[in-house]
Structure 1
Amino acid sequence: MLSAGMASAGENGTFSESVYLDEMPVVLSVSRLSQPVDEAPAAVTIIDRKMIRDSGAWDLAEIFRLVPGMYVAYHASNVYTTNSTVSYHGLSDAYAHRMQVLVDGRSVYSPLFGGVLWDDIPLALDDIERIEVIRGPNSASYGANSFLGVINITTRHSAETQGKFLSLSTGRGRGEAVARYGGGDGDFTWRMTAGLRNDAGEEARIFDPIKNDTKHEANKQDDKRIRQLTLRADYHLDVRDELELQFGYNGGMREEGFGTDSFYTRQKQVANNFQLVHWRRHLDAGGEVGVQFYHGYEESRDTLYAMPPYTGLSFNAGVEAHRYDLEVQHIFSPSEATRLVWGGSVRLDRTYWPLYLNRQNSFDFHLARLFGNLEWRVKPEVVVNMGAMAENNDFTGTDVTPRVAVNWHFSPGHTLRASHSRATRTPTLYEQEADNRYRVPLPAPYDWIVRYAVGGLKPERIKSTEIGYVGKFSRLDADFRLFHDELSDLISPHNYNPCNPTGTLPMPGGFVLPPNVPVGLTAPGVACYGVDSLGSFNNGSAVIKGFEMQLQWRPGERTRLIYGLSHAIVSSPNENEQPYTNSVPTNSHSLMLAHSFDAHWSGSLTGYHVGEVRALGGVQKVDAYERWDGRLAYRFRSGNGNGELALVVQNLFDARYFEYEAVNQPPGRTAWLNLKLDI
């Protein structure tokens, strides 16, 4: 809540607190302070429950197709888990490790390859309250890896999910059952949500492949069986103190692999869980102090079986990763014109990953942070946000990432924002420590080295400047952002041979190996093969500039139109043939039209246009595409509760296109029925 003295623009050119609080949505994530969206120091897209429902999204990743500047690719990877990629402003491989993702303040950024395993998050769509997408660097609030943007997902309070809820879906290649029950009294409430999902993923064969060869004619194996269970309890200890407890589990079978890979396609078992405790004390004048602790666990049981000529060889590709995180945060008002949030956190990531790290013991990664953000109302119509994060980690040492922003309410309902920020990205465990090798005994023993980290990586860096506008025209809300981002020390993989017997290892760009890096990489009597090995180096740079726009128009009480546009240009020397210049679509659009015909019937139509792109790691550029989805729903009374029956059709016109690369083809026209009962 805004404290005394926090005023906004009012009618007749004067400024009062009520007009913006009444008309402008409030965001919670950008600076860690509750602020009207036109006083936040960065651009934000807000996705509410109705928007999620109207989109007809099957899974969480699909929702972000509606965010300007987001690139979403269906099942982009066939390694570790077959998951979609969600990236902001491109420059991404399949794991999209330049964006932070939080669920109720808990980071779900994977410590292994980086990025997010979207299908493995213990979260039901019907339990989401809202999603805030911060479009731009935000290391000042959430540290390294909040490099290009932040997604903050907030689940519903257990007091708002009382009673019984059931959701059943069935359709082509898809089926799901979700059941929820909530109980308790005024001071203590809780809910439990359980779900089962079968997802057949992509079609087995690619429709109209771009090449007539085995690799381009068959899709990945990507069937999933997902089991989920989440628990949330909220307890008001007294008038000031409240306690939040959460538990979640997601596990089941995942298919993985190509039929043309070095290893057979296979089924693997995953299991992910978390436990979270969050205590808050509400202070006077809108202040608050909070302490949060969570533990996250990521597990994959996987064995690789080699194809001919090495049939019979197998390798343990399993992984176990723990994350322990403790954070303290304090909000208060030093004066009538200012609010301050500050705090700190410590984190431990402990990973057991024998195949990719070539070690039989766990690897520990430590992280410590100190952050703060000051909101200062210089004048009734001018708000300044100043913030910074100091962070220390085992890989890159200490960095400070600042941000400053000025918001000017130059006219009632119209605001200009100017901001500049710095951000970093810490190397992933795979980039910094990989020693991914396979011991092949026949016909003669040798180590086949796929990836070997040279270490000594620096953090990626970005300098971001933006001019933004937020305005309200009667029933039309507008958000415009003009941005210029300078990226340096980008980490990318390059080929080199770590087995050079001369002791001099050739490096890209004249890079010199540290003296402690071993030469030969082989046990006695074991040859070393590393001609095609990869290592990570800080030798990339790029400039991204362009503009984004999002509009929300309500022509009537029953109709909502949401439009998003992104135009981005990447300029880069493309060092070592990394195609940064093509890794973001130049133009992309999204459009959602939702309408309630009467008290029972409603419908929505959602369309996407995505320009051509060559994602990092993708072999070929993929063409631009368009896709349209539709949803028709009938609401009805069910005893003492409510029900809804909906028909969702994705890819209405059966467009056959590729995402990420030319071996990723989403299903054609897909339809399913969904029944919801809320009692």
Structure 2
Amino acid sequence: MATVMRFRPLLLLFLFCPLFLSHLGEPDLFGIGICMAEDESLPVAKLRGDAKAEWDTELLYFKEETVSIAARHEQPISQAPSNVYVITDKDIRQSGAPDLPTVLRRIPGLEVMQVTGADFNVSMRGDNQLNANKLLVMVGSRSIYVDVQGNLYWKAIPVTLPEIKRIEVQKGPASVLYGFNAFDGIINIITKSPEEIKGATAQFGGGAYGTISSAAVYANSYKKLGFRLSYGHDQNQQWRSGGTPAYRDNKFNVQTEYALGGDSKLSFSGGLVHLNRFDGFVVDAAVQTGVPDFGYAHAGYERPNFFIRGFWNGYGINGPITTNPSLAPFLRFTDPNFNPVTMLRGNTYNLEAQQGIEIGTTTRFTAGINFRHNTLSANFIDRFRTEDRLGLYLQGEWKPSHMFQIVGGVRYDLDTFIDPTISPRGSLLFSPFLNHTFRATVAVGYRPPTLADTCRDTLGIVTLPPPIPSPPPTNARGSGGLGPEKIVSYELEYQGWYVQHRLRVRAALFYNHISDLITASGLSPTQAGGVADVHGGETGLEFLATKWLSGFGNFAYQEIGQTLTGTSQRAGPRFKYNAGLRAQWENGLKGASLGGPHRQPPDGLAHGPI
């Protein structure tokens, strides 16, 4: 079989470069993403058989998405027991976005805050802050959340944009099925199989501040074996110093699949992300914390209603801690031996299995177990440390009629450093008419203290100008008495299809109660005494105007009431809206995708992009 070759060169400025027009003096951001002249190896005119029929169908009406994130098995999005939003590979390709956080900005209720050219903070529904750490992110069902430190490097996610098939985003706690860290919600990045991206694909983009986003992918198959190889390179300069690199990485990934009988398969994937520039993390007193690197390996066996998977994530940091310039003359951080350079190595080993049981056409049970072992070796903790986590979960789904569906589940988690936690979720779905669904959900989630919170051993050294005597160094130690952070969430949602499935309308109301947040008291972690209550609503629509023109629009509103103070305070824009249009013709030419988010911060002041 001849190798299929696809090349997606997006010519500088007009053909590949996303153009953003920003009114930084106003509390809004208007963006124009341009993605044109895309040459595919299989243009629409050459599609045959089922592929051509599917294309023609998509031009007539919207297809309802099939998702797996909310119940851990595939189902129509309208039957999901939680609020789910989907971004497709077409959305990504035609957005002109250079990185994943920029792609996610269009989702109502999701906040993306970029602090430097390398450092992003992403959260759900008003739970944002520097070093946001309440969102679980997975690539191909493998967690990439850094357990040992409780953070995520958004630009260093180990996948290139052309490899992504779709992104499923669940808003609201997902601890019932995914355990710790699925606090605000969860993002699962689903990649294309070797068959779906068969051939060679090259993508290149660039822009201001020395921005380069590039990827090369090759996939093929031989009999029952399929494989995918990819390489990515991304870089950009600092905002405050345009000639200084802020971020530079090289990504290498490999995925293999071997088809067995009975719709079962074996899979293996592995890769590494090497960074030599990273301008972050920005926290209250520090603006740089070292340059990270990542490696992973993932293996699994799947068949209908059953899977068993295991993965290893490796994580290292090397580099000095740089104090905020306004504090640098007076404050610096070192390890107990007065060494300011971070030397850290962490590992996560995870094993999980799940079994689904269907009873007739009305009932389904899902049961699962996972074990995780974390290790951390660093000069900023007291000694080599380990952590073990064990989780058991059970979920039941009952659909006595086409109008009603009840979903309930509970998870029991054990952790080395905290008491056991129980995370329930209950959902009631009501469909009084075809294509119209109402849903009510109550869920509880937890996030435990990290090894860095529990075992920290750091010196804070204050130097005062003479003749004022400087105080002795302050030793910041972790606390073994920290409990888990907690969220209780309530949500109502409506989904409806109109105009012969050419228009979808969605609306949601939510209330989140957040407590027991872990924050810094001086230099040491402690449990914050206050609470935050976040409530608001989201609404949006997607429409197919003609065979060649589609669009979307959404609006989000939220209020934050809290007794939290300092860096534990929750934050997010009060209003946010997005709108976009997409044109696509049968000759394969993609028109401009126009749109942009508008955000009003809580204090009403003018800010740049959030």
Matching residue of 1:556? 546
With 170-179 and 270-279 compared, the bigger mean Cα shift is at: 170-179
Change (3 A) 1:192 1:395: same
Q: How does 1:435-584 map to 2 (within 5 A)?
A: 435-437=457-459, 448-449=473-474, 451-474=476-499, 475-495=502-522, 533-574=523-564, 576-577=565-566, 580=569, 583-584=571-572
Q: 1:420 offset after TM fit, Å?
A: 1.2
Matching residue of 1:72? 112
Q: What is the number of residues matched between the two proteins?
A: 535
Matching residue of 2:96? 56
Q: Deviations over 1:437-465 (max 9, x none)?
A: 15799999986337433331121222211
Question: 1:492·1:540 contact (CA, 8 Å) conserved in 2?
Answer: no
Matching residue of 2:416? 394
Aligned partners of 1:27 and 1:309: how far apart in 2?
52
Q: How does 1:5-16 map to 2 (within 5 A)?
A: none
Aligned partners of 1:94 and 1:187: how far apart in 2?
47
Question: 1:384·1:407 contact (CA, 8 Å) conserved in 2?
Answer: yes
Q: 1:390 offset after TM fit, Å?
A: 0.8
Aligned partners of 2:129 and 2:156: how far apart in 1?
19
With 423-432 and 336-345 compared, the bigger mean Cα shift is at: 423-432
Matching residue of 2:307? 290
Unaligned runs of 5+ in 2: 1-60
Tell me whether 1:587 sits opposite 2:575 in the alignment.
Answer: yes
Q: How does 1:51-450 map to 2 (within 5 A)?
A: 51-75=91-115, 82-172=118-208, 173-204=210-241, 223-256=246-279, 269-282=291-304, 288-304=305-321, 314-355=339-380, 357=381, 359=382, 361-437=383-459, 448-449=473-474
Question: 1:305·1:314 contact (CA, 8 Å) conserved in 2?
Answer: no
Provide the TM-score with structure 2 as the length reference.
0.81
Provide the TM-score with structure 1 as the length reference.
0.73
Aligned-partner SS, 2:480: coil
Aligned partners of 2:184 and 2:288: how far apart in 1?
34
Bigger Rg, structure 1 or 2: 1
Q: 1:23 offset after TM fit, Å?
A: 4.4
Aligned partners of 1:44 and 1:449: how far apart in 2?
46
Change (3 A) 1:480 1:366: same
Change (3 A) 1:228 1:467: same
Aligned partners of 2:240 and 2:357: how far apart in 1?
54
Q: Deviations over 1:508-567 (max 9, x none)?
A: xxxxxxxxxxxxxxxxxxxxxxxxx34322412121111111211111121121222111
Q: 1:484 offset after TM fit, Å?
A: 1.5
Q: 1:349 offset after TM fit, Å?
A: 0.9
Match of 1:604 among 581, 585, 593: 593
Paired amino acid for 1:591: A
Change (3 A) 1:197 1:488: closer
Aligned-partner SS, 2:71: coil
Q: 1:122 offset after TM fit, Å?
A: 1.4
Q: Deviations over 1:218-245 (max 9, x none)?
A: x9x7622211110011100223430111
Aligned-partner SS, 2:353: strand
Aligned-partner SS, 1:51: helix
Identity within the alignment, %? 24
Change (3 A) 1:334 1:624: farther
Aligned partners of 2:532 and 2:145: how far apart in 1?
24
Question: 1:567·1:588 contact (CA, 8 Å) conserved in 2?
Answer: yes
Q: Deviations over 1:308-352 (max 9, x none)?
A: 689997423121110000001111213331112111000011111
Aligned partners of 1:605 and 1:441: how far apart in 2?
52
Change (3 A) 1:203 1:401: same
Q: RCO greater where, 1 or 2, for CA within 8 Å and sep 6 or more?
A: 2
Aligned partners of 1:309 and 1:97: how far apart in 2?
29
Question: What do you get for the CA RMSD once the two structures are aligned?
Answer: 3.1
Q: Deviations over 1:354-375 (max 9, x none)?
A: 12x2x3x421111000112111
Aligned-partner SS, 1:100: strand
Change (3 A) 1:309 1:491: closer
Matching residue of 1:42? 82
Matching residue of 1:521? none
Paired amino acid for 2:592: G
Paired amino acid for 1:553: F
